[in-house]
């Protein structure tokens, strides 16, 4: 115990900084992990320099070794860039809420439309899917299939009309989107999800079409759907959509694959937009609300390390409580106020037996308190609070009339006050003995 205490104090007293060598070694590891996760190179560069700066100015932690401390900073920064907490969908004050999907062909927009519709339906919404992708021959059919699976109606251009792909005239996706929204209004759908066309690569025509649809339906959310496997192209693609159409949020698709999710960090850090959902398979139920903290550990691939860090910090809290107890016993007068603080500490820890067990020589007291009633702490607190500072410092001056006053003030009896004073006297004696060194070998030189 004394070893642990001593090192705890050593750590507590260290007001140093992490060494640059420690930081650089860990940052190198982090850089490799991020590149392995396919985070864009320029994002990795910016990120690691932020982390390095923060680590250089961080106070040395008593709980963690330097590497763990850097990893902790990395994790916090990752979570922050990924949006901190999950950002829920924004709904329009006056329905319908319009959600526009944008992204490259094959990103997973149409699949997402169905997933989102099912998800919203489960929350009691009444979505309408709008097929504004008239680019690919079977795009409308695909959305109809998805809609049927999700149990959600699909608005599509009628065969033979100008809006329809089979009419010989190129369909007008903007008109379809506008008509879809009007239909949603008249049929009282509270959410409209507009599926759009994509190209294999970013191009001007695609952006213009998406912007025109955006202007026609004035969406509450524009969700940029991006394939998590896209790797290093994530930045350029996200930037192109951010500039070309603009988006309010991101959906990461195909997270069921090998991708470690580096694209998430790339997109979030380049565009500053939050990731709302993750798509994790071809089935409509393979869909999750996005959790930045989980993604951070996936990107770092250091789930175990993060767990270790958490545990180390928890253990450190216990060490600090232990150190506080040691401080109390080694102090030169153990006053009623200390006694009260100690009781409150015990209650706060929720496990005073454990704490007493950590203190050598406390066996006696532990036994005495084995059947200690938690409400007892309230009573002790009330009694001590009803004493004057002078009485707390020197309980000897508490005579009969003071005792009666204290009992009245604390809603207890004179007997209760007596019992407390007796108990305190016993504890005080024990503390004094231990402070002399008898009970706590190796405590010499400990700060009081
Ligand atoms: P769109 O062109 O953006 O509309 O993309 P689609 O929704 O048509 O999806 C393209 C392909 O990716 C389809 O074969 C989908 O089944 C598949 N897909 C979509 N989302 C996911 C996903 O989260 N995981 C996997 N494994 N496949 C997906
Ligand atoms: Mg599609």
Domain extent listing, the chain: 2-84, 97-290, 331-435
pLDDT on residue 251: 97
- 197 labelled as ligand-binding? yes
Closest CA to 116 of 247, 292, 249: 249
Ligand 1 atom having least distance to the Cα of 103 = 3
Is the model's pLDDT at 348 over the cut of 70? no
- 101 labelled as ligand-binding? no
| Residue to mutate (ligand 1; options 100, 102, 108, 288; most atoms within 8 A of CB) | 108
Alpha carbon dihedral 297, 299, 301, 302, in 10-degree steps, equals -40
The phi and psi torsions of 87 (rounded to 5 degrees) equal -100, 115
Mean pLDDT, the chain, as a whole number?
A: 81
Question: 3-state DSSP call for residue 227?
Answer: strand
- For residue 235, what are the CA distances in angstroms to 93, 173, 206, 239, 399? 33, 27, 18, 6, 78
Strands (E), 213-297: 221-227, 249-253, 275-279, 287-289
Closest CA to 421 of 438, 435, 400, 437: 400
Per-residue pLDDT band at 23 (split at 50, 70, 90): confident
How do residues 86-103 score in pLDDT, each as one tens digit? 899 999 999 999 999 999
Ligand 1 neighbours, Cβ below 6 Å, are: 103, 105-111, 198, 253-254, 256, 279-282, 286
Cα 280 to ligand 1 centre (Å) = 10
- 108 labelled as ligand-binding? yes
Per-residue pLDDT band at 322 (split at 50, 70, 90): low
Cα 230 to ligand 1 centre (Å) = 13
* Distance, CA of 159 to CA of 166 (rounded, Å): 7
Cα 144 to ligand 1 centre (Å) = 15
Question: Hey, how many other C-beta atoms are within 10 angstroms of the C-beta on 122?
Answer: 10
For 356-394, b/e burial (b = at least 16 CB within 10 A) is: bebbeebeebbeebeebeeebbebbebbbebbeeebbee
Per-residue pLDDT band at 372 (split at 50, 70, 90): low
Question: Can you read off the two tokens belonging to residue 44?
Answer: 């990795």
Query: Ramachandran region of residue 270, left (φ > 0), alpha (ψ -120 to 50) or beta?
Result: alpha
| Residue to mutate (ligand 1; options 100, 253, 255, 257; most atoms within 8 A of CB) | 253
* Distance, CA of 173 to CA of 164 (rounded, Å): 9
**Superfamily (CATH H level) for 97-290:** P-loop containing nucleotide triphosphate hydrolases (3.40.50.300)
Ligand 1 atom having least distance to the Cα of 281 = 24
Nearest CA to ligand 1 atom 11: 106
Cα 279 to ligand 1 centre (Å) = 9
Nearest CA to ligand 1 atom 23: 254
Nearest CA to ligand 1 atom 9: 108
Question: Which ligand is the nearest neighbour of the Cα of 105?
Answer: 1
Ligand 1 atom having least distance to the Cα of 105 = 2
* Distance, CA of 229 to CA of 259 (rounded, Å): 5
pLDDT on residue 151: 97
Per-residue pLDDT band at 383 (split at 50, 70, 90): very high
Question: Which ligand is the nearest neighbour of the Cα of 108?
Answer: 1
* Distance, CA of 418 to CA of 144 (rounded, Å): 82
pLDDT on residue 447: 34
Question: Which ligand is the nearest neighbour of the Cα of 131?
Answer: 2
* Residues, Cβ < 5 Å to ion ligand 2: 109-110
**101 within 8 A of 113, measured Cβ to Cβ:** yes
Cα 104 to ligand 2 centre (Å) = 9
Question: Can you read off the two tokens belonging to residue 379?
Answer: 């009573």
Angle between helices 66-81 and 20-36 (to 10 degrees): 50
Average pLDDT (185-214) is 93
The phi and psi torsions of 94 (rounded to 5 degrees) equal -110, 110
| Residue to mutate (ligand 1; options 103, 106, 193; most atoms within 8 A of CB) | 106
pLDDT on residue 440: 40
pLDDT on residue 327: 56
Question: Which ligand is the nearest neighbour of the Cα of 109?
Answer: 1
Cα 152 to ligand 2 centre (Å) = 17
> Domain 331-435 carries which CATH code?
1.10.260.30
- 109 labelled as ligand-binding? yes
The phi and psi torsions of 286 (rounded to 5 degrees) equal -80, 75
Cα 137 to ligand 1 centre (Å) = 17
For 43-81, b/e burial (b = at least 16 CB within 10 A) is: bbeebbebbbeebeebebbbbbebbbbbbbbbbebbbeb
**130 within 8 A of 194, measured Cβ to Cβ:** yes
**Complex ipTM tops 0.95:** yes
* 3-state class percentages of the chain: helix first, strand second, coil last, to nearest 5: 60, 10, 30
Is the model's pLDDT at 324 over the cut of 50? yes
What is the 3-state secondary structure of 308-361? HHHHHHHHHHHHHHHHHHHHHHHCCCCCHHHHHHHHHHHHHHCCHHHHHHHCCC
Per-residue pLDDT band at 210 (split at 50, 70, 90): very high
Give the largest Cα separation in the chain, rounded.
106
- 208 labelled as ligand-binding? no
Average pLDDT (239-263) is 91
- 354 labelled as ligand-binding? no
Question: Which ligand is the nearest neighbour of the Cα of 281?
Answer: 1
Cα 251 to ligand 1 centre (Å) = 12
Cα 1 to ligand 2 centre (Å) = 64
Above pLDDT 90, what percent of the chain?
47
pLDDT on residue 218: 97
Residue matched to tokens 């695609």: 206
Per-residue pLDDT band at 320 (split at 50, 70, 90): low
Least confident interval from 48-57, 257-266, 272-281: 257-266
- 85 labelled as ligand-binding? no
Looking at domain 2-84, does it have CATH number 3.40.50.10490?
no
């Amino acid at each position: 115990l004394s070893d642990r205490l001593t090192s705890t104090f050593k750590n507590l007293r260290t007001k140093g900084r992490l060494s640059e060598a420690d930081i650089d070694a860990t940052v190198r590891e982090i850089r490799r992990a991020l590149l392995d996760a396919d985070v864009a190179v320029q994002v990795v560069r910016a990120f690691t320099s932020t982390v390095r700066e923060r680590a250089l100015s961080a106070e040395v932690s008593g709980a963690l070794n330097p590497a763990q401390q850097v990893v902790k900073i990395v994790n916090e920064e990752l979570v922050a860039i990924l949006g901190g907490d999950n950002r829920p969908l924004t709904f329009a004050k006056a329905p319908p809420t319009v959600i526009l999907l944008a992204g490259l062909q094959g990103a997973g927009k149409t699949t997402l439309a169905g997933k989102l519709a099912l998800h919203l339906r489960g929350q009691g919404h009444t979505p309408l899917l709008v097929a504004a992708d008239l680019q690919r021959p079977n795009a409308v059919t695909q959305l109809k299939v998805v809609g049927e699976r999700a149990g959600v109606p699909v608005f599509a251009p009628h065969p033979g009309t100008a809006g329809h792909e089979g009419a010989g005239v190129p369909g007008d996706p903007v008109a379809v989107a506008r008509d879809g929204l009007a239909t949603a209004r008249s049929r009282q759908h509270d959410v409209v999800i507009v599926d759009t066309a994509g190209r294999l690569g970013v191009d001007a025509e695609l952006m213009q079409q998406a912007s025109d649809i955006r202007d026609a339906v004035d969406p509450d959310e524009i969700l940029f759907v991006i394939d998590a496997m896209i790797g290093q192209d994530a930045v350029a693609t996200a930037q192109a959509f951010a500039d070309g159409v603009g988006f309010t949020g991101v959906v990461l698709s195909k997270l069921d694959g090998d991708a470690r999710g580096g694209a998430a960090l790339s997109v979030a850090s380049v565009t500053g937009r939050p990731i709302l959902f993750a798509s994790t398979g071809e089935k409509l139920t393979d869909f999750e609300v996005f959790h930045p903290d989980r993604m951070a550990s996936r990107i770092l691939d250091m789930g175990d390390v993060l767990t270790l860090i958490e545990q180390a910090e928890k253990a450190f809290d216990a060490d600090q409580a232990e150190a506080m107890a040691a401080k109390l016993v080694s102090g030169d007068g153990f006053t009623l106020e200390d006694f009260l603080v100690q009781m409150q500490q015990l209650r706060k820890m929720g496990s005073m037996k454990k704490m007493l067990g950590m203190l050598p020589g406390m066996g006696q007291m532990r036994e005495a308190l084995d059947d200690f009633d938690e409400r007892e702490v309230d009573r002790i607190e009330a009694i001590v609070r009803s004493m004057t500072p002078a009485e707390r410092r020197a309980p000897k001056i508490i005579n009969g009339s003071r005792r009666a006053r204290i009992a009245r003030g604390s809603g207890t009896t004179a007997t209760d006050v007596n019992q407390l004073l007796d108990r305190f006297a016993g504890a005080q004696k024990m503390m004094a003995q231990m402070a002399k060194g008898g009970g706590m070998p190796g405590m010499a030189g400990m700060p009081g």
